[in-house]
Every structure is written in C-alpha cells, then in structure tokens.
C-alpha cells in the first residue's frame, strides 16, 4: 500500500491486508500522520474512526476533504471517505461501539472487492472506554485496571484485517478485496511499556513509533527509524527490485547508516567533533543527508507532502550514490560544508514539482556536484 511518505514506503512499507500501529506521546504527530494516510494511501475506501479524540480534528477533516481531490479517481476525497465520529465529549459506551461499527463498514466494502483502509484514532481511548465499562460491571481488573480480556479484544480487532478472495460470479473474473487496519496508540508520557501498546505490538505487522525527541526537533514525520519495524519489508522489497536493483540491500544499508550515525552523534557529544575520525564524520554526515533529504517530509507543503513512488525511486537512486560514494576531505569543516550544501539542495529539490523543468535542473546540478567531487577523490587516491 503506497502512502506517499518516504519513510513508510521505503523503510517501513505497509501492505494491503496488513496491520500497523503508530504509538506516540501527545503532540508527536499521530493525527497528522493518520490524516496523511487517509488522503494519500493507494486504496479505494478509507474509514476513519475518530475515537475519543478532539472534535476539532474531525471538523478539520469534514472541512478540508470535500475540497481535496483524490489522485486516483479525480473525484472529491470525501467520496471515498467514511467517518465514524465519536469524540471525547461523547459517552464511553458509544466509543467502544464505534470501533466495531467502523470495522463492519470496512468489511462491507471489502466484500465488494475493494481495497479498504481503516484508521482508528486512538485505540488507547477505546481501551479506556473498555476499562470504564468493565469497572462499572464490577469485573476483576487486570494490569493497570484494564480488563483481563484487553489483549484478546485488541487482537480480535486487528485480526479482521486481511485479503479475501471473492466467489466468481457469472461473467466476472475472480476478485479480491483487502482491508488494512491501522490504529494510533497514545500511551501516557510516551511510555511504550504500558498494556495497550504491548498488546497491540504483539499482533500488528508494522510498528511506526513516533518519538518525542524527533517531534521536538521538528523532524517530521516523527517516526523513529531506530525503533520502528515492519514484517513486510521483504515482500515489498522484492517487487521494488524490478524497478531499482538491490533495493532491499540499500534499505538495509540506509538503516545501518542511521544506527551508526546515531552512535557517532552521541560519541561526538562527549568527545567533541575533533575526537572523531574522518571516516566517522563522513558516515554521520551521510546519515544526516538521508535523514533530512529523504526521511523527512513536510505535511503542510503542497509538493513535499505527497511523494509518489517513481519520485521516491529517483531520489533513492540518488541516495544510493551518496551511500556508496567513497568521499574524502581535507578537514572536518570541508566535509561538513560539502554535505550541508548537498542536504539543502536535496531538501529544496523535494519542494519542486516532480519532473518540472526546475526539478530536472536541480537534480542534474546535484548529480554533477557528486560526480565532480567523487572524481576528485578518485584522482587523489591514485
Ligand atoms: N508531518 C508533519 N509535518 C509538519 N508538522 C507536523 C507533522 N506532524 C505533526 N506536525 C505538527 O505537530 C502538531 C501535533 O500533531 P498531532 O495533532 O498529529 O499530534 P497527536 O500525536 O495526534 O497529539 P494528541 O496525542 O494530542 O492527539 C501538529 O499540529 C503540527 O504542527
Ligand atoms: Mg491526535
């Protein structure tokens, strides 16, 4: 399932019929991420369950969606969107029902042979409703006073995702329908050790963890690449390899570059930049280029918000060149200046309309700079 978010499509891909969750502390960008997914995911129908969250967010969807155009059909986005509105001001019993209602509606469309995406914001509020109801029924409480059946209820909810094959009807070919379920979790204080996050983690296929540090640093989307994971990487990677050879290999390389970059950054905080070897500083700067030029995307920019797959592949091919480039510099400062310039150029490239004249020129300029520098490095080696 393409989402137009580079960090998801490349690093933590999702599939039709799969499940995912996005836990994160307050204000880390869970709702912005869900709105993004409802706007740009490559599905036919989106069901949004606003479960116990602010009414203002629902109003925003109601106001903006009719005016937005669905890329696939050219119709208004509202035509493919179903909203179950159950905001924080409404009774808790209704909140519990809203999740099931959303799922039933989503299944109904799947049965018609459509690709459906169900988004629940937030499943923590749903779990709180369960807790409140179970308390009033005087049931024996489990961990943190949630009912003992919390984990099985969460599992039963996510289990309803999947791909189905429909019966052949006269004159029509066999069709399939799919349902993706994605829920946000809002653990208090961003502590992922609490029961709702843990119960969700054990059943979903992808974990997109939003982190406070990243959102505070304005690194959006604040999905933390160091702790997030997906079980779908291989499936998606093998299909993408037809378009860009060794895709999976380079995604792994990118991930290890991020891990190494993070470790070097921490070391640098202690010993200062001078105490770091040239090779390490280059690795760190490469990871920053990937981070800022590729993983980050501004949800509020017209061009940058949605990055279609061909555009992602072009940009990733550029990243591959940077990853595998054998750079060398005279001083740390030289390295920093070079990579900062590169980073800014790539960032600006992301704000230009795809395949426009300006875009092509900017991309060519970046490639020329890289080529020139790498040739110089090669000459120096010889
Ligand atoms: N991708 C993004 N690009 C730019 N800004 C973002 C992005 N994601 C989040 N933000 C900023 O962070 C703010 C908070 O995001 P959001 O409302 O999604 O948080 P939340 O996790 O849903 O919070 P809560 O737990 O309170 O519901 C947004 O209003 C926006 O300013
Ligand atoms: Mg929210």
Mean pLDDT of 278-301: 94
Ligand nearest to the CA of residue 218, numbered in listed order: 1
Q: What is the pLDDT of residue 156?
A: 96
Lowest mean pLDDT: which of 2-16, 36-50, 96-110, 231-245?
231-245
Of 196, 202, 192, 194, which is closest to residue 25 (Cα–Cα)? Answer: 192
3-state secondary structure the chain: CCCCCHHHHHHCCCCCCCEEEEECCCCCCHHHHHHHHHHHCCCCEEEEEEECCCHHHHHHHHHHHHHCECCCCCCEHHHHEEEEEECCCCCHHHHHHHHHHHHHHHHHHHHCCCEEEEEEECHHHHHHHHHHHHHHCCCCECHHHCECCHHHHHHHHHCCCEEEECCCCCCCCCCEEEEEEEEEECCHHHCCCCHHHHHHHCCCCEECCECHHHHHCCCCCCECCCCCEECCHHHHHHHHCCCCCCHHHHHHHHHHHHHHHHHHHHHHHHHCHHHCCHHHHHHHHHHHHHHHHHHCCCCCCCCCCCCCHHHHHHHHHHHHHHHHCCCCCCCHHHHHHHHHHHHHHHHHHHCCCCCCHHHHHHHHHHHHHHHHHHHHHHHHHC
Q: What is the pLDDT of residue 110?
A: 96
Q: Could you tell me if 362 and 349 are in contact, meaning their C-beta atoms sit under 8 angstroms apart?
A: yes
**Residue 125 pLDDT grade (very low, low, confident, very high; cuts 50, 70, 90):** very high
Q: What is the pLDDT of residue 138?
A: 95
Reported as a single tens digit per residue, the pLDDT across 1-53 is 999 999 999 999 999 999 999 999 998 999 999 999 999 999 999 999 999 88
Question: Is the pLDDT assigned to residue 237 strictly greater than 90?
Answer: no
Reported as a single tens digit per residue, the pLDDT across 311-323 is 999 999 999 999 8
Question: Is the pLDDT assigned to residue 170 strictly greater than 80?
Answer: no
Residue with tokens 């309309």, as numbered in its chain: 353
Q: What is the pLDDT of residue 122?
A: 87
Measured in angstroms, how far is the CA atom of residue 35 from the centroid of ligand 2?
10
| Residue 196 burial by Cβ neighbours in a 10 Å radius (0-12, 13-18, 19+) | buried
Q: Whose CA is nearest to atom 15 of ligand 1?
A: 29
CATH of domain 247-381: 1.10.1140.10
Q: What is the pLDDT of residue 203?
A: 96
Burial 155-174 (b: 16+ CB within 10 A, else e): eebbebbbeeeeeeeeeeee
Ligand nearest to the CA of residue 215, numbered in listed order: 1
Mean pLDDT of 240-247: 84
**Residue 382 pLDDT grade (very low, low, confident, very high; cuts 50, 70, 90):** low
Q: Which numbered atom of ligand 1 lies nearest the CA of 210? A: 21
Measured in angstroms, how far is the CA atom of residue 121 from the centroid of ligand 1?
13
The domain spans of the chain are: 6-230, 247-381
Q: Could you tell me if 123 and 185 are in contact, meaning their C-beta atoms sit under 8 angstroms apart?
A: yes
Measured in angstroms, how far is the CA atom of residue 224 from the centroid of ligand 2?
17
Q: Whose CA is nearest to atom 31 of ligand 1?
A: 29
**Residue 87 pLDDT grade (very low, low, confident, very high; cuts 50, 70, 90):** confident
Q: Could you tell me if 148 and 141 are in contact, meaning their C-beta atoms sit under 8 angstroms apart?
A: yes
Question: Is the pLDDT assigned to residue 126 strictly greater than 80?
Answer: yes
Q: What is the pLDDT of residue 72?
A: 81
Q: Which residues form ligand 1's pocket by a CB distance below 6 Å?
A: 24, 26-32, 53, 186, 220-221, 298-300
CATH of region 6-230, choose from 3.30.300.250, 3.30.300.10, 1.10.760.10, 3.40.50.300: 3.40.50.300
Q: What is the pLDDT of residue 155?
A: 97
Q: Whose CA is nearest to atom 20 of ligand 1?
A: 27
Q: Whose CA is nearest to atom 8 of ligand 1?
A: 29
**Residue 377 pLDDT grade (very low, low, confident, very high; cuts 50, 70, 90):** confident
Q: What is the pLDDT of residue 47?
A: 97
Question: Is the pLDDT assigned to residue 70 strictly greater than 90?
Answer: no
């Amino acid at each position: 399932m393409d989402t137009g978010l580079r960090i998801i499509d490349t690093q933590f891909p999702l599939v039709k019929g799969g499940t995912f969750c996005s836990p994160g502390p307050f204000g880390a960008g869970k709702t912005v991420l869900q709105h993004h997914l409802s706007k740009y995911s490559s599905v036919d129908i989106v069901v949004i369950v606003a479960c116990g969250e602010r009414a203002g967010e629902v109003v925003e969807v109601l106001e903006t969606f009719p005016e937005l155009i669905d890329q696939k059909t050219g119709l208004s986005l509202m035509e493919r969107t179903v909203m179950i509105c159950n905001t924080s001001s409404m009774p808790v019993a209704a909140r519990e029902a809203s999740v099931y209602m959303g799922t039933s509606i989503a299944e109904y469309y799947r049965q018609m042979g459509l690709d459906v995406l169900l988004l629940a914001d937030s499943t923590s509020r749903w779990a709180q409703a369960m807790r409140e109801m179970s308390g009033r029924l005087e049931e024996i409480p489990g961990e943190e006073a949630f009912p003992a059946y919390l984990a099985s209820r969460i599992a039963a909810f996510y289990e309803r995702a999947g791909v189905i094959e429909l019966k052949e009807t006269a004159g029509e070919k066999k069709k399939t329908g799919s349902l993706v379920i994605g829920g946000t979790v809002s653990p208090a204080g961003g502590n992922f050790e609490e029961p709702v996050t843990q119960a969700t983690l054990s059943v979903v296929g992808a974990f997109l963890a939003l982190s406070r540090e990243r959102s505070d640093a304005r690194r959006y989307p604040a999905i933390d690449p160091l702790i997030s994971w997906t079980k779908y990487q291989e499936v998606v990677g093998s299909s993408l390899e037809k378009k860009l050879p060794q895709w999976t290999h380079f995604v792994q390389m990118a991930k290890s570059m991020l891990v190494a970059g993070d470790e070097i950054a921490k070391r640098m905080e202690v010993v200062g930049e001078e105490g770091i070897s040239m090779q390490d500083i280059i690795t760190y700067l490469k990871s920053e280029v990937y981070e800022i030029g590729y993983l980050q995307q501004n949800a509020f920019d017209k061009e940058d918000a949605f990055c279609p797959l061909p555009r992602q592949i072009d940009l990733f091919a550029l990243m591959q060149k940077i990853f595998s480039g054998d750079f060398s510099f005279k001083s740390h400062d030289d390295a920093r200046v070079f990579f900062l310039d590169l980073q800014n150029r790539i960032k600006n490239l992301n704000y230009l309309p795809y395949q426009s004249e300006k875009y092509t020129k900017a991309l060519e300029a970046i490639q020329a700079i890289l080529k020139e520098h790498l040739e110089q490095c090669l000459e120096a080696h010889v």
